[in-house]
Structure 1
């Protein structure tokens, strides 16, 4: 039986210049907004905290020094 990756979140390992798929899926959830981000559209993440972000603005806000 083939498993569909549609509507299933992926588990990723985020690295400085890309990410590695640990568990297949078609999206990840933004750490700030909770919005689904298609893997093809994923551009922003925090390597240290291993969190994805939907937009550059959300990533900047989340990673700003406190």
Structure 2
């Protein structure tokens, strides 16, 4: 039986130049805003904390020193 990945969150391992899919799905969740990010639109993540971000602004804010 084939399972659809539609409307299922993916689990990814983020690396410096890409990511590896650990659990198939069609989106991940932004660590800051909680927005759904389609896998094909995912461009921003933090390798050290293994978090995804919906925009460069959110990524910069989240990774800024405090």
Report the counterpart of residue 33 of structure 1 in structure 2.
33
Deviations 1:4-43 (A, max 9, x none): 0000000000000000000000000000001000000000
Over 4 Å off, 4+ runs: none
Coordinate RMSD, CA, aligned: 0.3
Under a length normalisation based on structure 2, what TM-score does the superposition of the two structures give? 0.99
Q: How many residues are paired up?
A: 66
Q: Which residue of 2 aligns with 1:49?
A: 49
SS at match of 2:37: strand
C-alpha distance in 2, partners of 1:21/1:59?
21
Q: What's the secondary structure of 2:59's corresponding residue?
A: helix
Structure 2 unaligned blocks of 5 or more: none
Counterparts of 1:14-33 in structure 2, within 5 Å, are 14-33=14-33
